[in-house]
Structure 1
Amino acid sequence: MRFFLLLSFLYAPIYAQDVYPKDFFRSPLDIPLQLSGNFGELRSNHFHAGFDFRTQQKEGFNVYASGDGYVSRIKISPYGYGKAIYIDHPNGFTTVYGHLKMGSAAIEKYIQENQYKQESFEVELFPKPGEISVLKGDVIAISGNTGGSEGPHLHFEIRDTKSEKIINPLFFGFDKIILDNKKPVLQTLLVYPIDANSEVNTVKTPLMVDVRLMEDGTYLAEKITAFGRVGFGISAYDQCDYSPGKNGVYKVENFVNGQLSYGYEFNTFAFDESRYINALIDYPRFRKTGQRVQRLFRKQPTDFSLIKTDETQGAILVEPNMNKISRLEISDFYGNNIVINIPIEYAMPTATAEPEIKPAGYLVSAIKDANLEKGNFSVFIPAKTFYEDVYMNFDVDGNVMTFGNDDIPVHTNFSVSIEDKTIPESEREKTFIASVSGSRLVYNSTKYKNGKFTCYTKNLGGFKLAKDNDAPKITSPKKIEGKTIKDGNLSFVISDALSGIKEYKGYLNGHWVLFEYDYKSRRITHWFSTDDFAVDGRNELKLVVTDNVGNSAIFETYFFRSQTP
C-alpha cells in the first residue's frame, strides 16, 4: 500500500499536466507570437498571470476567440488590464484578453449601451450564457494599449473557470507555437548568512558568488566557507526563439547533498497568492537596487502554494566536520536547464566578528494580531500582514507618525487611525490620512467615526492628517469655444494635485456622454458618433470633475459642428 501511494504521489504532477487539452485553443492573434512577458514572471508586487504577446509596437490587430464559448465578463477600467474580455469555454476553462483598444462591433455596442445606462466609462459586466456566444476564430476585439500597459501588446490568460486559478498557457499546446531552444541564463548568484550569528566567507552580509562553466556544461561556483545557517539567491532570465525579451524562469530547485531543499515551478497559482512575490524576492535589495533576486530560503513558512521545501525552509546548516554540496537547477518549461554546483565548507567563526547589534523598535509577529498606540495615533496589524516576524519603528514627531519603512514587504492591509475631535464637522469630509513621502503627501481613502480618522493601507512610512480644499483642474489642449469642430473627438486633460480624481462626467446638450479616460496621459476623450446627442450647429458641453474628498471643478463651453456630408 505504501509503495502504491508513493507511485501515486510521484506521478500526480505528470497526470495533472496531461488533463489540459492540447488542441482546443488557438492563438488569439494571427501574427507570429513573440513574448514580452511570460507566466509567473516577476513584476511589481505580483507574479505575471499570463502571456504578453508583442503586437509589433502598434495597436489595431484582430484579437480572436481562442475557442468556442461565450463572453462571461467584460471589465473596462483606466487601470490594470484596461479593456478586458473574458470567455468561458465548455471544457471548464476561461480565456482572458487584456489591454484591448475596443471590442468587435457587436461587443463594443453591448459595452457602450451599458456605459450609457450606468453613465460611467468604468463598467464591469457579466453577460449571461448565450447572450454573447463566440466560435473559435471569431474576432472579438482589436488589440490596444489600455490600462496599465506600458506599450501596445495583448495580455492573454487561461484560468480554471470554477476555481479561477491561473494556469500556464504552455500546458494547452502553446509550447508548440512558442518555440524555446535556449537555456536560462544566470545573472547573479548570492549567498546569505541567515541568522545574526551566521557567517559566509568571514562576513555577516550577503555576498556575490563567482561561477565558471565546466567542460560538461554545468557551472561550478567558488567554494563557500561558512558557519551557521546560510541560503542562496539568484537572478536569472529565459528567452524564447525569435524573441529578444528577457522573460522569467519557469522552475528553480536547490538540492543539498542530493535532497530537495527548496524549489518552485510556475504551473498554476491563485490570484490572492500573487503578492507573495515580495516574500520570494530579496525585497530590501529590490527597493535599493531595482534587482529582483529570488531567495531560495525563507525564515518562516508562508501560505504560498508554489513553494516546495523540507523542514529546513531552504536554510543550509553548516556545522563542524560536515561539508555539503548544493546543486542549483534552473529550468524552462521545455526542459532546457542549467546546473550550478556549489561546494560549502565549514569554517570557524572569526574572532574579530562585530558584536551583535540588538534590533530597535517593536517586534511584530507574522502570525498574531498586533496593536500599537502612541498619543492620538494607533496602528492595528492583523496576523499575516508581514511574511516574517519583524522589528518595526513606531514613532510620533509632532503631527507625523512613522511606522516602518519601505524596505519591509507588506502582504495585506493594516489600519492607521488618528484621533482628532477638534476638526469641525464642515471640514471632516475634506480631511484624510496622508502618507508622507518627503514633502509630498499621498492620499489614503479615509473614514471618520467618533472623532477618529482611519485608513487601510499596505504602505509603510510616515502618516499625518491632511486637508484638500482645492478643486481638480480641467484643461483643453486646444481652444474649442465658438469653434467648428471637424475632428472626430474632443479631448481634455484632468488632474488633481492632492487627493486624486474620483469621478468625471461629461454632458453634451444636457445629456451624459461617454468620455474614455487614460490615466497615463490624464486625458479624457469623447469620440463623436451618429447617436451621441451632437447636433448640427451650436453644441453645449459641460464637464464635471470631482476629487476623492468631494471638491469639484466645472468646465463649460460651446462649439459648432456640421454633421451634414
Structure 2
Amino acid sequence: MKYLILLFFITFYSFGQEYPKDYFISPLDIPLDVSGAFGELRSNHFHAGLDLKTKGVEGLPVYAVADGYVSRIKISTWGYGKAIYITHPNGYTSVYGHLQSANGKIEETIRKRHYDEKSFEIELFLKPSELPVKQGEVIAFSGNSGGSGGPHLHFEIRDTKTEMIINPLLFGFDKLVVDKYRPKVNSIMVYPLNDTIAINNDFLAQTIPLSVNNEGNYVTPKITSNGAIGFSMNVFDNMTNPYNKNGIYKVSTFVNGVPYFSYKFDTFSFDESKHINYFIDYYRFKNMGQRFQKMFIDNDYPLSVVNKNKRDGILKVQPAASYTYKIVVEDFSQNTSVIEIPVVYKKSESSPTEITNSLKKIKAKNEYIFEEDICTITFPANTFYEDFKMKMSVKDEVLYLHEDEIPVKNSFSLSFDISKLSDELKKKSFIAYLDGKDIDYVKSYVKGDKITAKVKKLGNYKVVQDTIAPRIYAVDFSEGKTIDTYTTITAKISDNLSGIDSYKAYLNGNWILMEYDYKTKKLVHTLSDNIYVKGKNDFKLVVTDEMNNSTTFESYFYKNN
C-alpha cells in the first residue's frame, strides 16, 4: 500500500504538475556549468539535484533563489556537509549543499548552536520568523564540505509537503543551463532473459558494436534471438561543457515504431533512490566499473521512473518475425541521439551448457536462515530483487557470502559465534566487510557469545578486533609557541580499523569548535571564536574510535593579541 500511494503521488507530479518557470533566480552569479545532473547514476543512489561548478575555488557567494525562510540547517561530516534549506511560500524548498560557511545571522546561528551542543555535527529546524531571507540575499559561500569531490554547489528543489525531489530544470533553470551537445552512447548490451535463449547463437549477455551513419545516428549489426531479450546502455550527456560526463534526462524505446518503454528524471523520492542498483546492470558495474542502465524490467520493483510504463520493455522475439528496436536518448534541451538495432528470430543451433554444482538456490520472495560453521545468515523475505544461485562458505573464520555482484533490496543480518574470545576482546570486536585489503567497519552488536550486524551487500565478512587507539598528528604549533599571527589552529586525526567515532577539543578547559574534513583528516579551529585568552592557552584534544579506544593530546601555546 505504501508503494501504491507513493506511485500515485509521483505519477501526479510527473504528469499533472505545472512548475513556476520565473519564480527562482540562479543561486550563483556566474554562468551555470553543470558537473552533475538530476537523476545521475551515483554509488547506491540517484543524484538529487544539480552540481554547479564554482570555477575550482571555494568562497563564491551563494544567493537565496527566492524569498522565504531558513527552515533547516544541517552540518555533517558526510553527505551534503554544510547545508542550508530555505522554504518558500510557493510550496517548494531549495537546498544548498557542500557550503564553506553561511553568511551573517545564519552563520551566527550556526556558530551558537555548535557551542550550545558542543558538537560539530548539528541539525536545526527553524520557525518562519527566525531567519527570513529575501531573493538575492547572500546566504552562504560555496565550498567543498562533506562528501564532495571538489569545490562546487549542490542545488536542489523539493516539494515542501511531500519531500519529493524535483529536477531544477523544470523551474526555468534550463534557460541558464546552455546545453548544445547530444547525449553520447558508449555501448549497448543485450541480455537473454532465461537459460534457453540465445543471442547470435550465444547464451550469454553481450555488447553490440556501434557505428554512426551519415545522419549522425547510431546503428548496429543485425542480432538474432529465439526468445525474450532486454537491452541496456552506457551513456552520458555533456550538458554545459564538452568535458562533462553527466547523467541523461530521458530514454524512450520503440519496437517497429510503436512506443515500448521509457523513463525520464523529473522527480523521485529519497526512498526510491536505493533501487539504483537494480536499475543498472549491477553485475557489470561491480566487475567492470561500468554503469549500464537497463531499458527493461524483468522483476517489478518500486522505482517510479520506470513503473509508469504499461510494458516491461522486454522484446519477445517470435518465429518468422523481424523488428527494429529503436532507442531515443534525449536531454532536457531536446538534443537527441538515436540508436537503431535490427532484430530477427533465429532458432539456436546449440544448447545451453548445464552446470551442476552445490550453489544454493535463492528465491527472492522467500525467507532463509543458513547456518555455516560459526556464522548464521538470515535473509528476510524480499531481501533480493530476483532469484539467483548463491555460493557460500566459511574458511579461516571468514564468511565468503557469494560476491558483491547481486543487488540487495533490503538489509539482512549476519551473526558470528565469538565464544572463543575473552570478555575484553568481545568489547573490542566488530563485523567487518573485507574489500580486498581494506577492512570496512560495520555497526555491530554483542550479546553473550554472539555478535550481529545488519548489512546491505553480499561479499566477505569477518569478526575483527580493534584495540589500537586513534592517532593525533600534524598539530600546527609546537608546545610553548607564540602564535600571534595564526588565525586557526589545526591537527590531523586518523584510525586504522574501526574509524573515528568522536573527538572533543578544549582551550583552557572550555570546549571549542574544530571542524572536521574526513577527506584531508584535518581538524580546524578558528581563533576568531574568541575562546582563547591573552597569554598562555592550554590545548587538549581527545579522539575516540568506534571501539571506544581513545587518544588524548595536550599542549599549550601563547597568544598575546
Q: Which TM-score band (shorter chain)?
A: over 0.9
Structure 1: how far apart are the matches of 2:358 and 2:39?
Answer: 36
Residue type of the alignment partner of 2:368? A
- Where in structure 2 are there 5+ consecutive unaligned residues? 1-7
Q: How does 1:335-346 map to 2 (within 5 A)?
A: 335-346=334-345
Kindly state the Cα deviation for residue 135 of structure 1 after the two structures are TM-superposed.
0.9
Tell me, what secondary structure is at the counterpart of 1:199? coil
Question: Which digits, 9 at most, give the CA deviation of each residue in 1:42-64, with x for residues without a partner?
Answer: 11111111000010000111000
Gaps of 5+ in 1: 1-8
Q: Greater shift after overlay, 324-333 or 87-96?
A: 324-333
Paired with 2:204 and 2:289, the residues of 1 have a C-alpha distance of: 19
**Residue in 1 that maps onto 2:4:** none
Q: Deviations over 1:464-491 (max 9, x none)?
A: 2221111101002544201111311111
For residues 411 and 354 of structure 1, the distance between their equivalents in structure 2, rounded to whole angstroms, comes to: 29
How much has 1:341 moved relative to structure 2?
1.9
- Superposition deviation, residue 238 in structure 1: 1.6
Paired residue for 2:451, among 438, 450, 453? Answer: 453
**Structure-2 residue corresponding to 1:492:** 491
* Cα shift at 1:230: 1.3
**Structure 2 counterpart of 1:3:** none
Amino acid in the other structure paired with 1:33:
L
1-structure distance, mates of 2:381, 2:304 = 18
Aligned residue number for residue 223 of structure 2: 224
Aligned partner of 2:315 in structure 1 is: 316
Is 1:297 the counterpart of 2:296? The answer is yes
- Contact 2:441 2:497 (C-alpha < 8 Å) held by counterparts: yes
In 2, the alpha carbon distance for the partners of 1:174 and 1:360 equals 56
Contact 1:359–1:391 at 8 Å: present in 2 too?
no
- 1:132 aligned residue: 131
CA distance change for structure 1 residues 241 and 451 in 2, over 3 Å: closer, same or farther? closer
Aligned to 2:363: 365
CA contact (8 A) 1:17 1:171 kept: no
2:327 is the alignment partner of 1:328: yes
Question: What's the counterpart of residue 58 of structure 1?
Answer: 57
Aligned mates of 2:103, 2:558 — CA distance in 1: 31
Q: Which residue of 1 aligns with 2:69?
A: 70
Asked if 1:181 corresponds to 2:180, the answer is: yes
Partner of 2:3: none
Using the TM superposition, give the Cα deviation of residue 407 of structure 1 relative to its aligned residue in structure 2, in angstroms: 1.6
Show the counterpart of 2:38: 39
Helix, strand or coil at the partner of 1:391: strand
TM-score (norm 1): 0.93
Q: Which residue does 2:518 correspond to in 1?
A: 519
> How far did residue 261 of structure 1 move?
3.0
* 1:308 CA displacement: 4.3
Q: How much does 1:280 deviate?
A: 1.3
Distance 1:424 1:293 in 2: 48
Q: How far is 1:553 from its partner?
A: 0.3
2:110 aligned counterpart, secondary structure:
helix
In the alignment, which residue of structure 1 is the partner of 2:413? 415
Per-residue CA deviation, residues 398-419 of structure 1 (Å, 9 max, x unaligned), is 4222212112222332111112
Paired AA for residue 146 in structure 1: S
Q: CA deviation at 1:14?
A: 9.8
Q: Do the aligned partners of residues 32 and 298 (structure 1) sit closer, same or farther apart at CA in structure 2, a change above 3 Å counting?
A: same
What is the Cα-based RMSD across aligned positions, in Å? 2.0
Q: CA deviation at 1:438?
A: 4.3
Provide the rounded CA distance (Å) in 1 between the counterparts of 2:311 and 2:549: 55
SS at match of 2:305: coil
Q: State the one-letter code of the partner of 2:551.
A: A
Matched to 1:253, the amino acid is S
Bigger drift between 336-345 and 511-520 goes to 336-345
Indicate conservation of the 8 Å contact 1:199/1:349, yes or no.
Answer: yes
- Alignment match, 2:81: 82
Compared CA separation, residues 310 and 85, structure 1 to 2 (3 A): closer
Q: Which residue pairs with 1:165 in the alignment?
A: 164
Q: What is aligned with 2:480?
A: 482
Q: Secondary structure at the match of 2:304?
A: coil
Aligned-partner SS, 1:276: helix
**Residues 192, 232 of structure 1: 8 Å contact kept:** yes
Task: For 1:30 and 1:507, locate their aligned partners in 2 and report how far apart those are by CA, in whole Å.
Answer: 39
What is the distance in 2 between the residues matched to 1:385 and 1:224?
35
Query: Which AA in structure 1 matches 2:298?
Result: K
Q: Post-superposition shift, 1:263?
A: 1.9
Contact 1:34–1:243 (8 Å) recurs in 2: no
Instruction: Report whether the alignment pairs 1:555 with 2:516.
Output: no
Q: Deviations over 1:533-557 (max 9, x none)?
A: x111111001000000111000000
1:6 aligned residue: none
Asked whether the equivalents of residues 260 and 310 of structure 1 are also in contact (C-alpha less than 8 Å), the reply is no
Mapped to 1, the partners of 2:105 and 2:508 lie a distance apart of 27
Number of matched residues?
551
Q: Percent identity?
A: 45
Q: 2:154 and 2:536 mapped to 1: Cα distance?
A: 42
What is the rounded CA distance, in whole Å, between the counterparts of 2:178 and 2:443 in structure 1?
46
